[in-house]
Amino acid sequence: MTVEAGIGYALIALGPSLALFVSVVSKKPFLILTLLSSTLLWLISLIVLSGIWRAFLPLKSTIWWPYAILIITSVGLQEGLRIFLWRAYKRLEDVLDAFAERVSKPRLFLTDKMQIALAGGLGHGVAHAVFFCLSLLTPAFGPATFFIDRCSKMPFFLVSALIALAFGTIHTFSMVIAFNGYAEQNKVDQVFVPVVHMVAALMTLVNFALEGCLVGIPLLYVMAILTLMHCGRMVWRRLTEN
């Protein structure tokens, strides 16, 4: 039950992403490159953040407000990163279209654009799951497990895998929403994404209370489902319009 448990936790966190990767991304080399570069960007943002916060660590685990500031700055930086990604993507799209004309192939289809956005978002989601869940999972392969005081009902690995799954979903699909919102100049979508991200991140503060994870995780999943539904509706609308 040790190796199995470790693999199970990893699959909880990354299973849906893996399915998306296999079914959508892996068939198109360009999407794989998009995914890798967006993962790398996310990693760089994390390193920058940790460089900024390194001086203040370790934070006292009894006071919650430093964590709130930490989360707000982190989400702010990552949302800034998303705008940068959008700019980069815009230029890329022009290059791709120019290239498509040269080889006399059709320009990018709407679905192509969405797939690129999906791969970019998947990169963020995978990076989150890898660094916040998978890299802490090594002990789960051993003959013991680990509980933290504030959440004594579930092993830490299970909690982090569940949270990683929720965030992976949010990251993946909010990128699709955001890119579409930028492309359509749709203010609602443009605001929706940072707000969802921020709210979801702040919800993890609920875990700070004793046994707060029993409340915080369901709330987080509400946000994830909200993102998913919004994304589904938007994609459906775009596809039927075209």
Partner 1 sequence: MESSILDSIGGEIIGVMSPVSICMFLVVLLVYALSPSNPFSAPASSAPIRTAANLVYVENPSDSVGQKLEGALLNALVFVVLIALVTFLLVVLYYYKFTRFLKYYMNFSAFSVLATMGGSIFLSIIQHFSIPVDSITCFLLLLNFTVVGVLSVFGGGIPIFLRQCYMVCLGIIVAVWFSKLPEWTTWVLLVALAVYDLVAVLAPGGPLKILVELASSRDEELPALIYEARPIAPQSGGDRGSSLGLLVAGVSDSGSVEMQSVSRDNPRRNETASNHGDDGIRSSRSDEGGNSRDEGETSPLVSNFRDRDSSSSRSSEFSVVNITPNRGGQFGNRESEIEEEMSPLVEMLALGSGRERERRDDGENDRSSGRGIRLGLGDFVFYSVLVGRAAMYDLMTVYACYLAIVSGLGCTLILLSVRRRALPALPISITLGVMFYFLTRLLMEPFVVGVATNLMMF
Give, as ranges, the residues between 134 and 173 that touch partner 1 (CB under 8 A). Answer: 134-138, 148, 150-151, 156, 159-160, 163-164, 167
Q: Which is nearer to partner 1, 164 or 235 (CB)?
A: 164
Helix axes 65-102, 156-184, angle to 10 degrees: 50
Of 57, 143, 241, 242, the one binding partner 1 (CB under 8 A) is 57
Exposure class string for 32-60: b at 16+ Cβ within 10 A, else e: eebbeebbebbeebbeeeeeeeeeeeeee
How many residues of this chain bind partner 1 (CB under 8 A)?
A: 73
Q: How many helices (H) and strands (E) does the chain have?
A: 7, 0
Q: Which helix (H) or strand (E) covers residue 215, if one does?
A: helix 213-241
Of 2, 3, 11, 50, the one binding partner 1 (CB under 8 A) is 50
Q: Which is nearer to partner 1, 50 or 188 (CB)?
A: 50
Show contacts with partner 1 in window 28-47 (CB under 8 A).
28-33, 36-37, 39-40, 43, 46-47
Are 231 and 178 in contact, with CB atoms under 8 Å apart? no
Rg of the chain on CA atoms, in Å: 19
Show contacts with partner 1 in window 68-127 (CB under 8 A).
70-71, 74-75, 78, 92, 95-96, 98-100, 102-103, 105-106, 108-109, 111-112, 115-116
Q: Which is nearer to partner 1, 137 or 231 (CB)?
A: 137
Are 160 and 133 in contact, with CB atoms under 8 Å apart? yes
DSSP SS3 for 13:
helix
Show contacts with partner 1 in window 172-231 (CB under 8 A).
197, 200-201, 204-205, 207-208, 213, 216
Q: Which is nearer to partner 1, 2 or 61 (CB)?
A: 61
